[in-house]
Amino acid sequence: MMNTSALDAVLAQVDQGLDASLERLKALLRIPSISTDPAFAQDCRRAADWLVADLQGLGFEAAARPTPGHPIVVAHGPQTPGPHVLFYGHYDVQPVDPLALWHTDPFEPVIKEGPEGRTIIVGRGASDDKGQLMTFLEACRAWKAATGSLPVRVSVMLEGEEESGGKNLPGFMRANAQELRADVALVCDTDMWDRQTPSITSMLRGLVGEEITVTCANKDLHSGMFGNAARNPNQVVADIVASLRAPDGSVTLEGFYDDVPEITPELRAQWEGLGFDEAAFLGSVGLSIPAGEAGRSVLETIWSRPTCEINGIWGGYTGDGFKTVIPSQASAKISFRLVGNMDPDKIRAAFRRHVEARIPADCTVTFKEHGGSPAVTVPSEGIYLRQALKALTDEWNKPAVITGSGGSIPVAGEFKSILGRDTLLIGFAHVDDAIHSPNEKYDLESFHRGIRAWVRVLAAFADSAKA
Ligand code: BES
Ligand code: MN
Ligand code: MN
């Protein structure tokens, strides 16, 4: 066994260094690394450089590696015997709009009292994913400070385009597969089951993003002079959008459910055992009536059923006042979340056929693709998983559970398909963190116990090598 006094010393180091850890997190949060907006490209670069310097300070060989987009930070700790882990996080963040709804500057992090007397840190990226990725780096720092070294070999890969499609990562991983191949990949970008219960996520949904623009007349028209005679693209887009779901909540694309498996009775029983509170979940966002496929539980529809969501619709006049116009163009952004073996290319093609069949012969449609990735299922057994579950259980004093997730983290699939490695998805976020939303926050408890949890996970991996 890892000598327990070493582990205790590292955990004590975490507790004692927490204020300094928070200062470093704040410094990273002050950099507005919004990857989707070219105006912030320099800031993405600055965030990457900041992380490189931090990792070098921890004794890693680190560099910001160029891509056609934002750099990817890659770092390698010293060679040690035993397992080699590759940690992944992303340093880019979502845009801050609507800015008016923030109570404080999104890039001037503040620590304050949150709901139920909890202490929180507020700022864009506090949870997704700067707060989460820093839990791992701070765990490495504590190991170094308390014992002079890391208990296992650690490599780190930090992406700067996760929130904007992540186009350059797969190519980078393919080109550097030899260098990046470790025994197991760790990703810190997911939630806990609830405030007291740590979890490892075993399923993520995939994603297909599509944007359509429908053009009817060759210019905007007076809606009195042309109304009834000229086709209205807003109507065409609305009809298409409305046709995507049947009244029972199912998605109508041809073949949509072909590769969707039913969950096993064992998994269903395990999920039921988690005791999910549907009313509280919907109530927390001001709703009470589940949408989606009839006859399935909310948890099941989020974790194991595909969805079609209309993320944006626009066209015509939406400013103040009123304008009687038939616009020339209208658009929509639509995403599909995939499960099981659904193939992103096949779903995209089915969607395009569905749309094309509904475009009047004298109108046109153009498509813009916004990424695609399949669903990910990670094995729910194995030595690293068992060790990690135990480490989380020890930290929270409550058995860690295995959960699904409705979100998408494409890199988890790429670790398998490109590097041939399984991923452990371990995160400390909470559903009320408001990721992608105004006033994003991370609980100080998530940050603190997250660091302590990684300290324990690394210790457990070192042990598993000796066992
Ligand atoms: N960290 C999230 C994914 C996530 C959210 C996992 C909540 C588990 C719980 C990640 O940064 C994200 O936002 N992913 C995007 C997909 C990406 C391709 C734009 C998503 O899920 O929409
Ligand atoms: Mn994320
Ligand atoms: Mn995100």
Q: Do 32 and 92 sit in the same domain of this protein?
A: yes
Same domain, 436 and 340: no
* pLDDT higher than threshold 70 for residue 64: yes
Atom of ligand 1 nearest to the CA of 205: 21
- Claim to verify: residue 145 and residue 191 sit in the same structural domain: yes
- Residue 81 confidence class, pLDDT cut points 50, 70, 90: confident
Question: Which sign does the torsion angle of CA 343, 349, 355, 358 carry?
Answer: negative
Tell me, yes or no, whether 114 and 215 share the same domain: no
Q: What's the pLDDT band for 467 if we cut at 50, 70, 90?
A: low
Q: Does residue 94 sit in the same domain as residue 37?
A: yes
Q: In the predicted model, is pLDDT for residue 3 greater than 90?
A: no
Task: Indicate which residue's Cα is closest to atom 17 of ligand 1.
Answer: 163
From atom 5 of ligand 1, which residue's Cα is the shortest distance away? 407
* Closest Cα to atom 13 of ligand 1: 163
Q: Which residues contact 33 (CB under 8 A, 6 or more apart)?
A: 40, 43, 44, 46, 47, 70, 91, 92, 93, 125, 160
**Is 290 among the domain residues?**
no
- Mark whether 243 and 343 lie in a shared domain: yes
Atom of ligand 1 nearest to the CA of 410: 18
293 lies in some domain: no
* Lowest model confidence (mean pLDDT) among 206-215, 306-315, 374-383: 374-383
Q: How far is the CA of 409 from the centre of ligand 1 (A)?
A: 6
Residue 371 Cα to ligand 1 middle (Å): 13
How high is the pLDDT of residue 313?
97
Residue 350 has pLDDT above 70, yes or no: yes
Q: Give the confidence band of 125 by pLDDT, cuts at 50, 70, 90.
A: very high
Question: Does some domain include residue 16?
Answer: yes
How confident is the prediction for the chain on average, in pLDDT?
A: 96
Structure tokens at 415: 């670790």
Q: Quick check: is 280 in a domain?
A: no
Distance in Å, CA 94 to ligand 3 centroid: 7
Rounded to an integer, what distance in angstroms lies between the CA atom of residue 388 and that of residue 369? Answer: 37
Mean pLDDT (whole number) for 83-105: 97
Give the residue-averaged pLDDT of 392-415.
Answer: 96
Ligand positioned closest to the Cα atom of 338: 1
Using 50, 70 and 90 to split pLDDT, how confident is the model at 365?
A: very high
Q: Side chain identity at 57, as an amino acid letter? A: G
> Which whole number is the average pLDDT over 50-72?
98
pLDDT at 374 over 80: yes
Residue 297: inside a domain: no
Shared domain check, 91 and 160: yes
Instruction: Give the CATH number, domain containing residue 41.
Output: 3.40.630.10
Domain check: are 353 and 402 in the same one? no
- 335 plus 346 within the same structural domain: yes
Res 141: pLDDT: 98
- Backbone dihedral angles phi then psi of residue 8, each to the nearest 5 degrees: -60, -40
Per residue in 151-191, pLDDT (tens digit) is: 999 999 999 999 998 889 999 999 999 999 999 999 999 99
> Counting atoms of ligand 1 from 1, which one is nearest the CA of 335?
22
Q: Determine the length of the chain.
A: 467
d(CA 211, CA 331): 7
Q: How many domains does the chain have?
A: 2
The residue among 314, 336, 370 that closes a domain is 370
**Cα 409 to middle of ligand 3, angstroms:** 9
Residues 129 and 231 in one domain: no
Nearest CA to ligand 1 atom 16: 408
Choose which residue among 432, 435, 436, 446 to substitute to test ligand 1 binding: the one with the highest number of ligand atoms within 8 A of its C-beta. Answer: 435
Calculate mean pLDDT across residues 55-75: 98
Residue nearest to atom 15 of ligand 1 (CA): 408
Rounded to the nearest angstrom, the distance between the alpha carbon of 218 and the centre of ligand 1 is 38
Confirm whether 268 is domain-assigned. Answer: no
Same domain, 221 and 318: yes
pLDDT value at 93 more than 70 = yes
Alpha-carbon gap, residue 129 to 106, rounded angstroms: 14
Model confidence band, residue 1 (pLDDT cutoffs 50, 70, 90): low
**Pocket of ligand 1, beta carbon within 6 A:** 128-129, 162-163, 166, 189-191, 207, 371, 405, 407-410
Q: Domain holding 244: CATH number?
A: 3.30.70.360
Ligand 1 center to 459 CA (angstroms)? 28
137 domain residue, yes or no: yes
Average pLDDT over residues 275-294: 94
Q: Which residue has the tokens 């490695």?
A: 421
Q: Which of 314, 349, 370 is the last residue in one of the domains?
A: 370
Q: What is the pTM of this model?
A: 0.94
| Structural domain harbouring 197 | 4-204+375-466
Predicted confidence (pLDDT) at residue 258 exceeds the cutoff of 80: yes
Quick check: is 82 in a domain?
yes
pLDDT digit string, tens, across residues 218-253: 999 999 999 999 999 999 999 999 999 999 999 999
Nearest CA to ligand 1 atom 18: 165
| Nearest atom within ligand 1 for CA of residue 201 | 8
Decide if pLDDT at 261 tops 70. Answer: yes
Domain boundary among 348, 370, 392: 370
> What confidence score (pLDDT) does residue 381 get?
85
Question: Starting from the edge strand earliest in sequence, which strands make up the sheet with 119-122, in order?
Answer: 110-113, 119-122, 441-443
CA of residue 381 to ligand 2 center, whole Å: 24
Same domain, 162 and 216: no
| Spacing, Cα 427 to ligand 3 middle (Å) | 13
Residue whose CA is at the smallest distance from ligand 1 atom 14: 408
Average pLDDT over residues 332-352: 98
**CB-CB contact of 22 with 82 (8 Å):** no
Q: Inform me whether the pLDDT recorded for 290 exceeds 70.
A: yes
pLDDT score for 2: 62
